C-alpha cells in the first residue's frame, strides 16, 4: 500500500515565477514578454542539472494557458494551472528527448501541431534534454519550428547546448540558467526545514549547499537523505560522515599549509582525512575553491592576498598553485593510488607557488639595471 509520501525535490518544486530561485534574469524576461504580448514561438533553456529549466518551462506554460491568460501572476489553484502541474493537461505536452529522439516520433509531433488546443489558448510542447534528438529528428523539426501555427509554442531544455544544431539555436530565444549560489540554496533549505519541522544547523546547511554545486534539486535530494538518516535533527558532523566531506576548518588548515609550504602539516592533514574515510577528490575541489577565492582577493587588492592562512602571496604564486592543483585532478580522480597522488599534487602545488616565471625575473633585472644607470658607479655594481 502506497504511503503517499512525496520526496522534497518534488514537493517543493517551484509552482510560480515567485518560487524560482536564483534565476531572476530569466523570470524577469519571461514576465515582461507576457505583460507586453511579445511571446516568441520557441524558447531554449540551457543550464546545469537541477537549476530549474523544466520547472521554469512548466511555469511558463501555466502563465500562457491559465484562465484569462496569458498572465504572469496566475492563481496556482486555477483548474487549468492545476491540470498542468499534475500533468493531465491536453494542451501542455512534455516529451523526453532521450527516449523520443527518432525522426518518426518528431514527424508525429509535426502532424499534431496542426490541431487546435483543446482547452487553453496555446499548445505548449516542452522537450527535455533536446540535445538527445538525432540529426534527422532535428531536421524534421526545422520547418515547423521556424513557422509554427499561431497556437503552438515550443520550450526546449538542455544540459549540453553544444550538441544542439545551430539551425535550431537560431530559431529560439535562448536563456542561460546559472548555477544557484550557495546562500540562496541555504535560504531555501532553511525554509523547507522550518515547514517540515526539521532542526538543522547552519553548518549542516552550508555543507549540503557545498555538495550541491549550484543545483537546487541536488541539494533537496541530499537534504531528504539526511532526514532519513538523522530523523528530526541534523548536525554538520552527520553530513560530513555520510558524504565523506571535510569540515571547512580542515580545508582552511590545508590551504594554509599549502601557502606556508609546511610539508609535514600537509601530510598530517591528508593522513587524518584518509584515516577517517573522507573523499579526497572532493577535498581537492574544496581546496581549489578556497585558493581561487584567494586569487580573486589578490586581483582586487593590488596583486597580493593573505587569505590562505595569513601568508601573503602574489597573484602569480596563487595562480601557479591553482594550476598545479588543477593538473593533479585526473591523477587523484582516476589513479590507482588516490592518497599518494593527492599528496604529490599538494606538494607540487607548494613547489609551483615557490617558482618564479623567467619573464618576471627578466623584468626585475631590467628594472634594477635601469634604476642603476643613473646612480654612482658603486651603486651600479651593488645593483
pLDDT, greater one: 376 or 249: 249
For residues 206 and 254, membership in a common domain is answered with no
Q: What span, in angstroms and rounded, lies between the C-alpha atoms of 272 and 329?
A: 20
Q: In this structure, are 85 and 156 located in the same domain?
A: yes
Are 15 and 159 contained in the same domain?
Answer: yes
Residue 202 domain-assigned (yes or no): yes
Q: For residue 95, tell me if it sits in a domain.
A: yes
124: burial class by Cβ within 10 Å (0-12, 13-18, 19+)? buried
Tell me the pTM.
Answer: 0.80
366 in a domain, yes or no? no
Q: What's 138's domain CATH number?
A: 3.40.50.300
Whole domain around residue 213: which residue ranges? 182-243
User: Structurally, how many domains does the chain consist of?
Assistant: 3
Please check whether residues 255 and 296 belong to one and the same domain.
yes
Give the separation between CA 127 and CA 141, rounded to whole angstroms. 12
Chain segment 233-284, per-residue pLDDT in tens? 999 989 988 888 888 889 999 999 999 988 999 999 999 998 888 889 989 9
Residue 382 within a domain: no
154 and 48 belong to one structural domain: yes
Look at residue 370 and tell me if it is in a domain.
Answer: no
211, 243, 275 — which closes off a domain? Answer: 243
373 located within any domain:
no
Of 141, 159, 176, the residue at which a domain comes to its end is 176
- In a domain, residue 380? The reply is no
Boundary residue ending a domain (176, 199, 225): 176
CATH code for the domain of 199? 1.10.8.60
Mean pLDDT is lowest, of 171-180, 282-291, 315-324, 363-372, for 363-372
Share of the chain above pLDDT 70, in %: 94
Do 197 and 165 share a structural domain? no
Q: With bands split at pLDDT 50, 70 and 90, how would you rate the model's confidence at 375?
A: low
- Same domain for 219 and 71: no
Residues 165 and 25 in one domain: yes
Tell me whether residue 372 is in a domain: no
Q: Which of 6, 30, 16, 28 is nearest to 73 (CA)?
A: 16
| Order of all β-strands in the sheet with 123-128 | 92-96, 123-128, 152-158, 42-46, 173-176
User: CATH number of the domain that 353 lies in?
Assistant: 1.20.272.10
- Cα–Cα separations (whole angstroms), residue 350 to 16, 251, 322, 335: 50, 16, 10, 21
Q: What is the pLDDT of residues 280-326, one digit of tens each?
A: 998 999 999 999 999 999 998 888 888 888 888 889 889 999 999 99
**Is beta strand 304-308 parallel, antiparallel or unpaired with respect to 311-314?**
antiparallel
Is 170 in the same domain as 194? no
Q: Average of pLDDT values for 82-87?
A: 90
Domain check: are 130 and 199 in the same one?
no
Assess whether 199 and 288 both reside in one domain. Answer: no
Q: Are residues 238 and 253 both part of a single domain? A: no
Amino acid at each position: 500500500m502506497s504511503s503517499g509520501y512525496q520526496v522534497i525535490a518534488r514537493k517543493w518544486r517551484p509552482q510560480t515565477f515567485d518560487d524560482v530561485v536564483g534565476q531572476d534574469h530569466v523570470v524577469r524576461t519571461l514576465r515582461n514578454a507576457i505583460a507586453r504580448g511579445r511571446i516568441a514561438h520557441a524558447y531554449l533553456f540551457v543550464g546545469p542539472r537541477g537549476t530549474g529549466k523544466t520547472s521554469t518551462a512548466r511555469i511558463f506554460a501555466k502563465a500562457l494557458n491559465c484562465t484569462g491568460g496569458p498572465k504572469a501572476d496566475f492563481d496556482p489553484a486555477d483548474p487549468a494551472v492545476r491540470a498542468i502541474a499534475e500533468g493531465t493537461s491536453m494542451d501542455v505536452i512534455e516529451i523526453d528527448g532521450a527516449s523520443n529522439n527518432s525522426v518518426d516520433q518528431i514527424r508525429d509531433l509535426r502532424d499534431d501541431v496542426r490541431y487546435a488546443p483543446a482547452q487553453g489558448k496555446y499548445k505548449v510542447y516542452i522537450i527535455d534534454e533536446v540535445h538527445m534528438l538525432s540529426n534527422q529528428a532535428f531536421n524534421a523539426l526545422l520547418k515547423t519550428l521556424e513557422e509554427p501555427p499561431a497556437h503552438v509554442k515550443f520550450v526546449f531544455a538542455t544540459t549540453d547546448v553544444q550538441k544542439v544544431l545551430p539551425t535550431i539555436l537560431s530559431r529560439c530565444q535562448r536563456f542561460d540558467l546559472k548555477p544557484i549560489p550557495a546562500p540562496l540554496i541555504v535560504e531555501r533549505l532553511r525554509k523547507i526545514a522550518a515547514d517540515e519541522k526539521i532542526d538543522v544547523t547552519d553548518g549542516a546547511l552550508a555543507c549540503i549547499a557545498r555538495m550541491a554545486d549550484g543545483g537546487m534539486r541536488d541539494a533537496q535530494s541530499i537534504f531528504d537523505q539526511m532526514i532519513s538518516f538523522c530523523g528530526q535533527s541534523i548536525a554538520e558532523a552527520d553530513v560530513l560522515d555520510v558524504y565523506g566531506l571535510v569540515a571547512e576548518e580542515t580545508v582552511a588548515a590545508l590551504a594554509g599549509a599549502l601557502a606556508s609550504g609546511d610539508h609535514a602539516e600537509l601530510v598530517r592533514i591528508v593522513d587524518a582525512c584518509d584515516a577517517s574515510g573522507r573523499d579526497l577528490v572532493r577535498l581537492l575541489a574544496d581546496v581549489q575553491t578556497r585558493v581561487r577565492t584567494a586569487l580573486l582577493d589578490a586581483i582586487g587588492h593590488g596583486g597580493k592576498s593573505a587569505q590562505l592562512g595569513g601568508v601573503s602571496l602574489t597573484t602569480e604564486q596563487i595562480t601557479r598553485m591553482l594550476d598545479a592543483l588543477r593538473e593533479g585532478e585526473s591523477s587523484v580522480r582516476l589513479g590507482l593510488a588516490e592518497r599518494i597522488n593527492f599528496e604529490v599534487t599538494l606538494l607540487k602545488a607548494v613547489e609551483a607557488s615557490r617558482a618564479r616565471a623567467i619573464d618576471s625575473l627578466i623584468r626585475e633585472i631590467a628594472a634594477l639595471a635601469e634604476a642603476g644607470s643613473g646612480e654612482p658607479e658603486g651603486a651600479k655594481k651593488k645593483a
